[in-house]
Structure 1
Amino acid sequence: MTDIRIQDFGENSKPDNNNFLMTFNDNSESKMRLKDAYYSIVPDGAQTHNNIFRGANLGALDSTHIANIQNGSFKDMFIGDYFSVNGSNYVIAGINTKHLKGDNIQLGNHLLLMPDRFSTLKDGTVMRNNGKQHYMNDTDTTASGFAGTKLYQTYMPSIQNKLEADFGSHLLKFREVVSTHVDASGAPDQAEWRDAKLAIPNEVMVYGTTLNGNNKNGSWYNIGDDDVQLPLFRLNPDELTNHRDWALWLRDIHSASEFAYAIGDGSAGWSNASSPWCGVRAFFLVG
């Protein structure tokens, strides 16, 4: 290439996120967006990719994505990026979050995904209450822990059906601590490890700490092994308000009649188990 000045390309008349980087090699030239150049030089691996929020549309989950998950490189996948599958968007909330965790299953490399926000349409992966449905329980009780709730017994299996249809064999089984009983004061005092293909977050996963869960008998009953804040909530504060869409249930038991929840104004609270004003936003693993 000769007799052409860089400014003659006219690519950057208005500086924005699509500025281009020009490279020259002998008689050939190429260009790439500066932001793509940046992400291409970030070292591969969970440790670095867990600390960068991007928010890109990755399209459908394909064999290249799966290969780069399973080999641990997580190439071109960052927090906030999302997959579009069968009309639903699933955002990357964490990378290898449950790696090697669990009582008898040591998980390999994986992405932790969540549906992207809520939807006014109930597509099977996110559910937004309409003031008539009681997602946690039909009555104000936590007597049988989270395991005894309508959300756990009825709604989560329906979500799982959708996820199995969307991700097939790449939807991973993991082990999850589920509370099964509360004492007279309303604090959970019994729990067990169970097989799971999805779960709902606890307070630590959202806020990075325990707030309204009753942990008098120990935090294990509410928190289990999900004891770190998800990078999605750490890196993007808008996720703490669920983008002002709706409050979402958390699995932490607050009392004999109440569960914790994340409020759409950014605060943390608790509500009666039969409250119709909280929605469901589950998480799951693919790999």
Structure 2
Amino acid sequence: MTDVRIQDFNENLKPDTNNDFLMTFNDGSESKTRLRDAFYSLVPDGAPTHNNVFRGQNLGALNATHITNIQNGTFHDMFIGDYFQINGSSYVIAGINYKKGHGDNSPLGNHLVLMPQDWSKTPTQTLGPDGKTDYMNDTDTTAGGFAGSKLYKTYLPQIQTKLESDFGAHLMTFRTVVSTHVDDSGVPDQGEWRDAKVSIPNEVMIYGTTLNENNKNSSWHNVGDENSQLPLMRLNEAERNFNRIGAIWLRDIHSASEFAIATSGGDARWNSASNSWTGVRAFFLIG
């Protein structure tokens, strides 16, 4: 074959970073593939490989093909950092099969872990830090553990309503450990497995280790089964400080009056439970 020009394949002639192609010729037929697409097509399907590749591509609205490829465990054409856009919200893939097989009674199957790309949108507001709203508690107390917090009892149900609207039956119920009591020194000493459709991260999910949570009575109360770092946080440094938008609450109890936080500066700290400069970035599962 001679005198073949890239413009003969009806591509935009305006140069840009997406106009690099791999061209193949076979028995007189020609085809072209973007080098970017060719690269990702070489990654074998499945959670072990796709959990270790950050792409950051817009997947558009969730559709039946996505769901099929989640449920069959191939996760074809879905990578860490890719995001769905649904009803005005963007949801980024933070992990693949992160909790598969977890739980105290009914182990989970294939799934994606998603997080709002920046903040958790409810039907009426965005839970970003505004200096006015006390998302965790109205007062500086951790009494009742994370289960006793205003965030758990009031704001997570609001976020769940938004997610149920966006994902319908594909929003999964999962089991997670929730602290329910703190001792006289402010350390969690009781917890239980509970059903959930949405929760907030712990320190391990963000940083890969415990830092400021108080585990004198066992890390089980703060960490539970979410005991490894989310691939999104491991592969993209910017996600660990939330693109410098602001600090977020973590569910780990630090003391009788403070919960752990992840800051926009990338450092791990803690805040008084009534701090109004700390926002909420939830996680949930679809499948």
In the superposition, the TM-score normalised over structure 1's length comes to: 0.95
> Equivalents in 2 of 1:284, 1:124: separation in Å?
19
Aligned residue type for 1:216? K
> Equivalents in 1 of 2:197, 2:157: separation in Å?
9
Aligned to 1:3: 2
Task: Check if 1:270 corresponds to 2:248.
Answer: no
Equivalent residue runs for 1:1-287 within 5 Å: 2-5=1-4, 16-118=17-119, 126-287=126-287
- Could you tell me which runs of 5 or more consecutive residues in structure 2 were left unpaired when the two chains were aligned: none
> Equivalents in 1 of 2:7, 2:136: separation in Å?
62
> Equivalents in 2 of 1:204, 1:88: separation in Å?
26
Q: Which 10-residue stretch deviates more, 257-266 or 10-19?
A: 10-19
| Contact 1:19–1:33 under 8 Å retained in 2 | yes
Q: 1:220 to 1:166 in 2, by over 3 A?
A: same
| Contact 2:119–2:127 under 8 Å retained in 1 | yes
SS in 2 for 1:225: coil
Aligned residue type for 1:65? H
SS in 2 for 1:159: helix
| Contact 1:58–1:82 under 8 Å retained in 2 | yes
| Contact 2:241–2:265 under 8 Å retained in 1 | yes
Q: Which 10-residue stretch deviates more, 220-229 or 22-31?
A: 22-31
SS in 2 for 1:264: coil
SS in 2 for 1:200: coil
> Equivalents in 2 of 1:215, 1:162: separation in Å?
33
> Equivalents in 2 of 1:124, 1:196: separation in Å?
21
Aligned residue type for 1:118? W
Q: 1:49 to 1:126 in 2, by over 3 A?
A: farther
Query: Deviation per CA, 1:9-57, whole angstroms, max 9, x where unpaired?
Result: 6979968344100011222211110010111111000000000000000
> Equivalents in 2 of 1:175, 1:285: separation in Å?
11
SS in 2 for 1:37: helix
- How many residue pairs were aligned? 285
Q: 1:125 to 1:102 in 2, by over 3 A?
A: farther
Please identify runs of 4+ aligned residues in structure 1 that moved more than 2 A: 5-18, 121-126
SS in 2 for 1:189: strand
> What's the offset of the Cα at 1:3?
2.4
Percent identical: 65
> What's the offset of the Cα at 1:129?
2.5
SS in 2 for 1:281: coil
Aligned residue type for 2:141? T
| Contact 2:140–2:257 under 8 Å retained in 1 | yes
SS in 2 for 1:117: coil
Aligned residue type for 2:236? N
| Contact 1:126–1:281 under 8 Å retained in 2 | no
> What's the offset of the Cα at 1:185?
1.2
> What's the offset of the Cα at 1:7?
7.4
Query: Deviation per CA, 1:54-105, whole angstroms, max 9, x where unpaired?
Result: 0000000000000000000000000000000000000000000000001012
> Equivalents in 1 of 2:205, 2:106: separation in Å?
21
> Equivalents in 1 of 2:48, 2:126: separation in Å?
29
CA RMSD of aligned residues (A): 1.9
> Equivalents in 2 of 1:184, 1:278: separation in Å?
26
Aligned residue type for 2:153? Q
> Equivalents in 2 of 1:56, 1:183: separation in Å?
46
SS in 2 for 1:162: helix
Q: 1:175 to 1:113 in 2, by over 3 A?
A: same
